[in-house]
Chain A
């Protein structure tokens, strides 16, 4: 699992690449949660590079969602591949996240 992140216009974009499962869910979550949130107005998690996500991936998204909600920071996920969409649908969570087709759409939603 590779994590790339960058901040532009006070929006943090975190791109996850590779497999997200029980074996790496905790370090991924820790890395994202440890990011300094103070200067941010929004966080976008880009899932376009995911090759696999197990239910542990949902746990990561849920924890981040709660973490950012407590800090009053907007949170979106973008570029869901069919299998991620399916897993979130199965857990009935599609309506519980802000979901956008790509990073640009998510950015646009954050800035309007």
Chain B
């Protein structure tokens, strides 16, 4: 008997290899994709029934005969179909496999057919019970083992008086079980990889969409044009980094020659940051319209943000109101990198913080400071993406360099000053990627 088992085992091993190839092939088709992810039409399911039915027939044909009993992997196709596509496809494939088995006849025909149909149905039920998802490698292999035991039990139950039945069952049962389990294991590995590939692809797609949405939100918030203030040049620029989003600037034109301007950096990245940025922008804008004092407006915005926003979201803000008649600027710096005031003669003054970042503490009181912009003076506001631009040696661009470049180019028009700073940053970081949003806002008092 052992002489028969070895070559037959080799044959069935070859058969299992075919099943792996077939699994690989079918899992790459769009029909299978649609059915596995529950988007399949009836036509898709019929195609898969034919496919897995053919696999079942092939499992029978390539099996081997042992004392009139077939040891084979007929059940595997319908079980795989049931476990990944549901009871309909499983049972359909099972029926096709069974019809072929009926045509062969033999003493174990009835129990074998029953076992195949039962296996397909149970596999389909397991899929349904597992929220219409594949149960995973180990559970699937265990299930196959159980179903093959049921198969053997059905044969022994329905063909009781066959001479030498115990030996047939032993041979057929063990080799059948082992090969079906190996087949299922191989399929599971292929299928698992397939799911992983799909998941990674979907996540990448979703992530790109998210980034796109974040960019759009960000873009829609930034003002499309700058205010026209007599005696002043105004410009601003923002370049978002790919991963991080959340810088914004805004201008608020009040009556009587007064113009509000602000620059801010919100915490977080991607969509949450973009949404928080929108919210922050609206809040500070509303507060600024409500009270015409930077400190009071920022205090109000802080309380609103603290009250209504999830803990841990905060933003740094520099908000100033320019009186275009006098050149006087009242400002409030809520934990924002200090804007640089470059005097006409090249002198530097930093407008350092006057309060904490917004959203940190309830009832925080923010105060105003004032500074005078004389003819030829330049006020340069920026976010930490500028000062913390890092080169490949790990050095940061830093405040001293910002001041130095500004002092050098202070007599140029604002747009040229911005270009000079940006190209200097770009030269400094070299090939290192931009790690944070870079945003600048600049006001210059020109000759009257």
**Given A22-B269, A59-B312: A54 touches B360 (CB 8 Å cut-off):** no
Contact B435 A93 (CB under 8 A): no
Contact A92 B356 (CB under 8 A): yes
Contact A92 B335 (CB under 8 A): yes
In the assembled complex, A55 has its CB within 8 A of some CB on chain B = yes
Q: How far is the CA of A55 from the CA of B437 in the complex (A)?
A: 12
Chain B binding surface SS class: loop
Q: How far is the CA of A66 from the CA of B361 in the complex (A)?
A: 10
Q: How far is the CA of A29 from the CA of B336 in the complex (A)?
A: 23
**Given A22-B269, A55-B316: A91 touches B357 (CB 8 Å cut-off):** yes
Measured CB to CB, the nearest residue on chain B to A56 is B267
In the assembled complex, B268 has its CB within 8 A of some CB on chain A = yes
Question: Which residues of chain B from 297 to 317 have any CB-CB distance to chain A below 8 Å in the complex?
Answer: 311-314, 316
Contact A21 B435 (CB under 8 A): yes
In the assembled complex, A62 has its CB within 8 A of some CB on chain B = yes
Q: How far is the CA of A32 from the CA of B311 in the complex (A)?
A: 16
Contact B360 A93 (CB under 8 A): yes
**Given A54-B388, A54-B436, A58-B267: A90 touches B337 (CB 8 Å cut-off):** yes
In the assembled complex, A85 has its CB within 8 A of some CB on chain B = no
Total interface residues in chain B, CB < 8 Å: 28
Question: Which residues of chain A from 27 to 61 have any CB-CB distance to chain B below 8 Å in the complex?
Answer: 29, 51-52, 54-56, 58-59
Measured CB to CB, the nearest residue on chain B to A33 is B312
B232 to chain A, nearest CB (A): 27
In the assembled complex, A111 has its CB within 8 A of some CB on chain B = no
A1 to chain B, nearest CB (A): 15
Kindly list chain B residues whose C-beta atoms are within 8 Å of the C-beta of A92.
Answer: 334-335, 353, 355-357
A29 to chain B, nearest CB (A): 8
Contact B335 A66 (CB under 8 A): no
Contact A55 B267 (CB under 8 A): yes
Kindly list chain A residues whose C-beta atoms are within 8 Å of the C-beta of B311.
Answer: 62-63, 66
In the assembled complex, B121 has its CB within 8 A of some CB on chain A = no
Measured CB to CB, the nearest residue on chain A to B312 is A63
In the assembled complex, A96 has its CB within 8 A of some CB on chain B = yes
Question: Which residues of chain A from 13 to 29 have any CB-CB distance to chain B below 8 Å in the complex?
Answer: 21-23, 29
Q: How far is the CA of A92 from the CA of B335 in the complex (A)?
A: 6
Binary contact readout A61-101 vs B (1 if CB under 8 angstroms, 0 otherwise): 01100100000000000000000000000111100100000
Contacts A/B (CB < 8 Å), 27 sampled: A21-B435, A51-B394, A52-B394, A54-B435, A54-B436, A55-B265, A55-B316, A58-B267, A58-B314, A58-B357, A59-B268, A59-B313, A62-B311, A62-B312, A62-B314, A62-B360, A63-B311, A63-B312, A90-B316, A90-B335, A90-B353, A92-B335, A92-B353, A92-B357, A93-B335, A93-B356, A96-B356
Residues on B facing A (Cβ under 8 Å): 243-244, 265, 267-269, 311-314, 316, 334-338, 353, 355-357, 360-361, 384, 388, 390, 394, 435-436
Q: Give me 10 other A-B pairs in contact (C-beta within 8 A), A52-B394, A91-B356 excluded.
A: A21-B435, A22-B269, A54-B384, A55-B267, A55-B316, A58-B357, A59-B268, A62-B312, A96-B356, A96-B361
Q: List 7 A-B pairs, minimum CB-CB distance, nearest first.
A: A63-B312, A91-B335, A92-B356, A59-B267, A91-B357, A22-B269, A66-B311
